[in-house]
Amino acid sequence: MFHTSNHAPSHTIHALELGRMGNFIYVIHDHATNRAAVVDPAWDVPSILATATQHGLRITDILLTHSHFDHINGVEALLNASDAQLHLLRAEAAFWDRYLDLPTLHDGGDRIQLGDTDIEILHTPGHTPGSACYRVGDQVLTGDTLFVFGCGRCDLRGGNPEQMFQSLRRLSERLPSDTIVRPGHNYGITPTSTMLEQIAGNPFLHFDHSPEFVEYRMHLHDREEPYRPEQRPHQHPH
């Protein structure tokens, strides 16, 4: 499945849904230079390369939201097929503990310049210690941190539900309400959403305190895909 959106004059984001886990692989296309950055290459590198060829793009960068197999199993093939530079957060490289040929390591708040397209790196730990979101204009690529009406698991190695609570809180407080959310998996009723819709309908954004979030994320959450919006529960005064 293939989706394309154009929300800013400097770039287009092409989305490919690939693999048995509904992964979204994103190709950020800078109009000024026809450079491309691929986010989380996995499952079907020939389809990624075909997308680049179709639009006359040169893949110069690979951005990782995190290091789980379903998001990185195409990295080596794409590196072999291009002259791309690999980018990931320093915290994720330490967690991954795998040598790759001179990746560019970043900290949260760093920026990557793809031609005229500015990409801001947000450190959003919780799913893994070095999970990242990439903010591109009025869109944010959220990996396995924020799904459409869901969020990433915290029970795998490196997961931390308290950190996930803080990461989701920062996203909801910092990003404008009209920001387009582009998740790492197609788990919701729509492939994209807005922060406004997520704040209103994503149950993981309805908690004001970490302990309640942790209890829900780790023990009570039993919703089935596709995730749908849920109303915020009424807050009763103590």
Find the catalytic residue in 11, 68, 106, 123: 68
Q: Residue 128, Cβ neighbours under 10 Å: how many?
A: 29
Phi, psi of 102 (to 5 degrees): 50, 60
pLDDT at 37: 99
The verdict on whether 206 is a catalytic residue reads no
Name the pTM for this structure.
Answer: 0.94
What is the pLDDT, as a whole number, of residue 238?
A: 41
Catalytic residue chosen out of the listed positions 11, 14, 87, 185: 185
List own/partner pairs for 20-27 with CB under 8 A and 24 or more apart: 21/70, 21/185, 22/185, 22/186, 22/187, 23/70, 23/71, 23/184, 23/185, 23/186, 24/182, 24/183, 24/184, 24/185, 24/186, 24/191, 25/74, 26/141, 26/182, 27/51, 27/52, 27/57
Provide the pLDDT for residue 232. 84
Q: Which pLDDT score, from 0 to 100, does residue 98 have?
A: 75
- Annotated catalytic residue 178: no
Q: Is the dihedral of CA 82, 142, 147, 13 positive or negative?
A: negative
Phi, psi for residue 183 in degrees, rounded to 5: -80, 175
Instruction: State the catalytic residue, choosing from 29, 71, 87, 106.
Output: 71
* Domain boundary assignment for the chain: 2-220
Ranges of the chain whose pLDDT falls below 70: 1-8, 99-101, 234-238
Q: How many CA atoms lie within 13 A of 116 on its CB side?
A: 10
Q: In the annotation, is 221 catalytic?
A: no
Confidence (pLDDT) at 101? 65
Q: Which of 14, 66, 87, 123 is catalytic?
A: 66
Q: Helix-strand-coil percent breakdown of the chain, rounded to 5?
A: 25, 30, 40
Q: Which of 74, 38, 82, 31 is nearest to 56 (CA)?
A: 31
Going from the C-alpha of 209 to that of each of 26, 58, 206, 215, the distances in angstroms are 33, 45, 9, 11
Catalytic residue flag (residue 127): yes
The domain made up of 2-220 is a member of CATH 3.90.79.10: no
Active site residue 219: no
What is the model's pLDDT at position 127? 98
